[in-house]
Amino acid sequence: MKTIIISCFLITAFTVSVLFVAAFALPIRAQTDNSSDNFSLVELLPDIDKIYREALVLPHQEAAKQIYDEDIAEFYNLLLHKTGMDIPLD
């Protein structure tokens, strides 16, 4: 019985030590501060802010091109200006 308990303890200790070593040996997150790399992982990510802004603003700007009544166009342009959707998208 003592042999079984000791062997279970040793197996558990070995498993915990392997997991502990693996946790420190494997990289958890990408390192972008290494100056020897030619690129950064941040450069590979899309510009989410620009994509979101284009998706939000572009339909409203395109709709403004189709308004031919000057009063409605003036109101719509004022609405775009007050909501900040008249800013150019770069």
Q: What is the identity of the amino acid at 78?
A: L
Q: pLDDT value at position 10? A: 78
37 inside domain? no
**Residue 30 predicted with pLDDT over 60:** no
Count of the separate structural domains present in the chain: 1
Contact present, 76 and 67 (Cβ < 8 Å): yes
**Residue 29 predicted with pLDDT over 70:** no
**Residue 6 predicted with pLDDT over 70:** yes
32 inside domain? no
Q: Which residues does 64 contact at the CB level (< 8 Å), separation at least 6?
A: 73, 76, 77, 80
Contact present, 67 and 79 (Cβ < 8 Å): no
90 inside domain? no
d(CA 54, CA 27): 35
89 inside domain? no
Query: What does pTM read for this prediction?
Result: 0.43
d(CA 87, CA 80): 9
**Residue 24 predicted with pLDDT over 70:** no
Q: Determine the structural domain holding residue 53 and report its residue range.
A: 2-27+45-83
Instruction: Determine what percent of the chain is predicted with pLDDT higher than 90.
Output: 8
Each residue of 57-79: pLDDT tens digit? 888 888 888 989 999 989 988 98
**Residue 43 predicted with pLDDT over 60:** yes
